[in-house]
Amino acid sequence: MIRRPMTRRGVLAAGGAALALPALPRLARAQSPVTLQLSWLHSVQFAGSYIAQERGLWADAGLDVSLNPGGPNAPVEPPVISGDALVGISAADYTAAAVEQGAPFKILMVAMQKNPFVIASLPGNPVDAPADLQGKRLGMALANRPVLEALCTLNDVDIDAIEMVPTQYSAAPLLNGEVDCLLCWETDLPVAMAIQGVESRTMLMADFDYSVHSQTYIATEDSIANRRDELVALLRGEVQGWDAYRADTDAAAALTVETFPDLGLDLETQELQAQRQVPLMFSDLTEANGFGWWTDDTVAANVETLALLGRSVTPDLWDRSILEEVHAG
Amino acid sequence: MSLAADAPAGVGAARPRGMTATGLIVIFLGWELAARALAGAYLLAGPTEVAVYLWQNARLMGRALAETLTNAAAGFVLGNLAAVALAALALIVPRAERAIAALALIVFCLPLVATGPILRVVFGPGAGPQIALAALAVYFTTLVPLLVGLRAAPAAWFDLVASYGRGRGAALVHVRAMSALPYLFAGLQIAAPAAILGAMVGEFTGAERGMGVLAIQAMRALDVEATWALATLAAVTSIAAYAALGALGRALAPEAPPALLAPPPATQAAGRRWGDQAVHMAVVTAAALALWQATPWLLGLNAFFAKGPGDIWAFLVTGAGAAEHRATLGAALGETALYAVPGYLAGLALGAGLAMALVLAPALATVAMPVAVALRSVPIVTTAPLLVLLMGRGAVGTTVIVAVMVFFPTFVACLHGLRQAPGQALDVADSFAAGRLARLVHMQVPAMLPAFFAAARMAVPAAVLAVTVVEWLATGRGLGALMALSASLSDYGTLWSCVVLVAVLSALGYAAVGAAERRVLSVYAAEQLAR
């Protein structure tokens, strides 16, 4: 099989790359080059992958894996649909939207069983349940309005009683009193506040019926049909990496900080983030069936929440065949 | 000592050390006091905190600076070479000049939200998108002044070249190149901070190192010291590049600009002018559409995210839900225009006003220049939260941020324009003992007009860009917010429709300024209208 056919884009990109003088990846010896497109900048959020890389789990399986970082202006779908990345890390709501637009994606594995969205507030003016949101000023990206609508519908809360304030993704508006609470992830802004010595409260939306799988591994139907072995090997490395992560989150944080010295990552922050990720990623379900697993019930709950977000999907969006092969050993 | 060297045209030239020191002290004191006043708000770190942070993290910061600067420099060189090549093409084929400028404008105002991911797919991992975005950020602001400068020579000089039996090549080397130098350097000075900003923003498309990456981390981590240390580093680097290019420009520029005294152009019949305009619009539109159609094919981009003109026509006109799509986009466009226009006008007034104020009171430059360059080079992502806190999320805050983005290129171009007042004319003013104000009003402002209008044209896409960034980060309305939302939902039909609207909005604004320009310059700088 020809992995990278000579394309016009390939030629132009090679020309551009020659101009740009990038650091070329080490030439692999008879290994399949595979790219995993991450959804954000490198951090302990993807530490399972770094462990797999560092322990040679992929190299032993004949894969030469590149972990491409994401960023604020780096959607995951284009590289995956272009074939530049074999697998991308997305979330069920984004994947559902892309599929509605005609992308042939399937979800192969679910790293975050519980959605990481929280409402963060300060102890003096706490939001501990969705009903507490009424009368509060909520700082959020207006793009997340459907998320709030879904939460309100699921919990019989009047959304008009919440004042939405469009803010940047930062805890500063909460701390300087512009807003009473923030819509953010359990694992970033609350961690930043804790490291700055500010105690905050978080209300995990997943605890109030907001069921959207996050940090999901997606691939195209074409890859699932034609590059199965590579997908199985890639995800097997991920599963083993994440199991090792769970065994020692501090070591995972230390590895992350060492691997990316140019990112200026703070060890203490990474350790705390690593701990806070555990309850989102590991549950009785993964305990019984292995990392990344899902059942018909969890998918049904997702389909229901996604419908509230305006996405009509069927359980076909999830394809467990690769993961079953991974866990079958 | 010549009078010209004495003139206020030397703003930015060597000043007594004491005055510079005073200016710096004023800036640092104001900054420190502001930081103290805002302590606890997690928005601003003062100079002492920044200095401590830079000292403690010198190696990390040094590596990030090296990475971003390398990409910015590569983009700066490539972008400016492209500008010079385009200007040369316009000289060789004068009939194509307006079409070249218009196409260059359209490419310049393509929003980052749309181009960033495509550049990442095209270049793959590495520094490709960072360099490309830095180049894209600079080429237009060099091209526009360069086109003006290539014409800013007295008609008599061209006659002189012709009387020696020499052709257009000699005119280019001996006349046009000399007259274009000051304008070229104005463009390069504007480009320096833009290249650094472009390289940083390029890192948002997925990079492993650099100042842009660190800035994102710092903002999320509430690390105010790191955020402002990075902003300071970007600003100081930009100021240094700006000053170095300015010094180089002064060293190379001819001593005193000549009087241009071009005859007014023959007036065309109104009907023919409108006919020309219509042909021009049609040519540019056709070329832009052809370019749009060809690019995804040439780059082998997947139609899922690289929509072509046919896709967007279906999305907006013939396809299912087209009316609904048009309504959504129309509402967003209205919101965007509402903020862009006042911010643009305020920025223009501020830029031209400050440049004139500096001519009247050159001492102001020690404080104003660094602040002006810093405002342009500090990423808007860093300053926007501060401005929003001070001005609010409403019309005032948005307008101010747009004005800040527009102000800098206008200011620099006007400053250079004011220096183009002919030496002979200023000698006359001096012999009548005219004051600074009289010289400004009668000599320098008319001389500044071509540069001012060039800046006003360049500022149109800058204003649109600024307002969409603010909408994305602060107000959550308008085209900026719609683009961010549609990119995250893979709604590339909406995203590319927004891109088209932004391009059309910028092109129309540019054309409107151009029309006003022709009327004014036919009186004050007729050489600019020569074809």
For B126, the closest chain A residue by CA position comes to A22
Q: Cα separation of B185 and B181, whole Å?
A: 6
* Inter-chain touch A75–B123, beta carbons under 8 Å: no
pLDDT recorded at residue B17? 57
* Inter-chain touch A77–B385, beta carbons under 8 Å: no
pLDDT recorded at residue B256? 57
* Inter-chain touch A175–B113, beta carbons under 8 Å: no
Q: Average pLDDT of B123-147?
A: 90
Question: Which member of A12, A17, A69 has the closest CB to residue B299?
Answer: A12
pLDDT reading at B158 higher than 90: no
Say if B288 falls within a structural domain: no
Which tens digit of pLDDT belongs to each residue from B347-361?
A: 999 888 888 888 888
Domains of chain A, first to last: 32-113+212-328 (3.40.190.10), 117-208 (3.40.190.10)
For B120, the closest chain A residue by CA position comes to A74
Question: Which member of A69, A81, A141 has the closest CB to residue B302?
Answer: A81
Q: What percent of chain A has pLDDT over 70?
A: 91
Q: Report the range of poorest mean pLDDT among A191-195, A217-221, A317-321, B156-160.
A: B156-160
Say if B284 falls within a structural domain: no
Which residues of chain B make contact with A42, given a CB cutoff of 8 A?
208
* Inter-chain touch A17–B385, beta carbons under 8 Å: no
Global pTM value: 0.86
Say if B497 falls within a structural domain: yes
Which tens digit of pLDDT belongs to each residue from A157-173?
A: 999 999 998 887 889 88
Q: Average pLDDT of B253-269?
A: 55
Which tens digit of pLDDT belongs to each residue from B297-333?
A: 888 888 888 899 999 999 999 988 899 999 999 999 9
The three-state secondary structure class of A120 is strand
pLDDT reading at A143 higher than 60: yes
pLDDT recorded at residue B262? 53
pLDDT recorded at residue B11? 40
* Inter-chain touch B393–A166, beta carbons under 8 Å: yes
pLDDT recorded at residue A20? 43
Which tens digit of pLDDT belongs to each residue from A234-293?
A: 999 999 999 999 999 999 999 999 999 999 899 999 999 999 999 999 999 999 999 999
Q: Report the range of poorest mean pLDDT among A34-48, A114-128, A206-220, B100-114.
A: B100-114
Compare B135 and B405 and report the one with higher pLDDT. B135
Which tens digit of pLDDT belongs to each residue from B21-71?
A: 777 788 888 889 988 888 877 888 899 999 999 999 999 999 999 999 999
- Interface contacts A/B by beta carbons within 8 Å: 205
Which residues of chain B make contact with A170, given a CB cutoff of 8 A?
42, 219-220, 222, 385
Reported as a pLDDT band with limits 50, 70 and 90, residue B382 is low
Reported as a pLDDT band with limits 50, 70 and 90, residue B335 is confident
pLDDT recorded at residue B363? 78
Please enumerate in sequence order all residues whose Cβ is within 8 A of that of B7, keeping only pairs 6 or more positions apart, or say none.
B421, B426
Average per-residue pLDDT for chain B: 82
Q: Cα separation of B319 and B199, whole Å?
A: 38
Residue A77 token pair: 């779908």
Please enumerate in sequence order all residues whose Cβ is within 8 A of that of A36, keeping only pairs 6 or more positions apart, or say none.
A49, A65, A66, A67, A68, A85, A86, A87, A88, A89, A234
Q: Cα separation of B448 and B413, whole Å?
A: 8
**What is the domain range of residue B234?**
3-17+41-268+311-529
* Inter-chain touch A71–B213, beta carbons under 8 Å: yes
* Inter-chain touch A170–B298, beta carbons under 8 Å: no
Residue B296 token pair: 């995804």
DSSP letter, residue B441: I
Please enumerate in sequence order all residues whose Cβ is within 8 A of that of A64, keeping only pairs 6 or more positions apart, or say none.
A25, A28, A31, A32, A33, A34, A58
For A185, the closest chain B residue by CA position comes to B220
The three-state secondary structure class of B396 is helix
Q: Cα separation of A118 and B460, whole Å?
A: 40
* Inter-chain touch B385–A170, beta carbons under 8 Å: yes
Residues 43-82 of A with CB under 8 A from B: 66, 68-75, 77-79, 81-82
Q: How far is B81 from chain A (nearest CA, A)?
A: 14
Burial of A237 (0-12, 13-18, 19+ CB in 10 A): buried
What DSSP assignment string belongs to A53-111? HHTTHHHHTTEEEEEE---TT--SHHHHHHTS-SEEEE-HHHHHHHHHTT--EEEEEEE
Burial of B7 (0-12, 13-18, 19+ CB in 10 A): buried
Of the residues A73, A198, A259, A317, the best mutation for testing chain B's interface (the one with the most B CB atoms within 10 Å of its CB) is A73
Query: Across-strand partners of A104?
Result: none
Q: Cα separation of B210 and A146, whole Å?
A: 34
The three-state secondary structure class of A246 is helix
Residues 79-108 of A with CB under 8 A from B: 79, 81-82, 84, 94, 97-98, 100-103
- Amino acid letter, residue A263: L
Q: Average pLDDT of B97-115?
A: 85
Say if B295 falls within a structural domain: no
Which tens digit of pLDDT belongs to each residue from B226-253?
A: 988 998 998 889 889 988 998 898 888 7
Reported as a pLDDT band with limits 50, 70 and 90, residue B254 is low
Q: What ipTM goes with this model?
A: 0.86
Q: How far is A246 from chain B (nearest CA, A)?
A: 24
pLDDT recorded at residue A235? 97
Q: Cα separation of A99 and A95, whole Å?
A: 6
Is any Cβ of chain B less than 8 angstroms from the Cβ of A1? Answer: no
- Amino acid letter, residue B402: V
For A196, the closest chain B residue by CA position comes to B222
Q: How far is B307 from chain A (nearest CA, A)?
A: 12
Is any Cβ of chain B less than 8 angstroms from the Cβ of A42? Answer: yes
Which residues of chain A make contact with B475, given a CB cutoff of 8 A?
166
Residue A69 token pair: 């970082």
Say if B274 falls within a structural domain: no
pLDDT recorded at residue A11? 47
Say if B442 falls within a structural domain: yes
Nearest to residue A118, comparing CAs of A217, A46, A200, A177?
A: A200
Query: Across-strand partners of A182?
Result: A120, A139
In b/e form, how buried is each residue of A144-171, taking b as 16+ CB within 10 angstroms? bbebbebbbebeebeeeebebbbbbbbb
Nearest to residue A40, comparing CAs of A98, A109, A94?
A: A94
Q: How far is CA A228 from the centre of its chain?
A: 22
Q: Report the range of poorest mean pLDDT among A10-24, A201-215, A257-271, B392-406.
A: A10-24
CATH classification at residue B128: 1.10.3720.10
Say if B302 falls within a structural domain: no
Question: Which member of B41, B132, B381 has the closest CB to residue A172?
Answer: B41
Question: Which member of B124, B300, B490 has the closest CB to residue A97?
Answer: B490
| Strongest mean pLDDT among A46-55, B187-196, B207-216, B424-433 | A46-55
Domain count, chain B: 1
Residues 145-204 of A with CB under 8 A from B: 165-173, 175-176, 178, 188-189, 192-193, 195-196
Compare B395 and B455 and report the one with higher pLDDT. B455
Say if B347 falls within a structural domain: yes
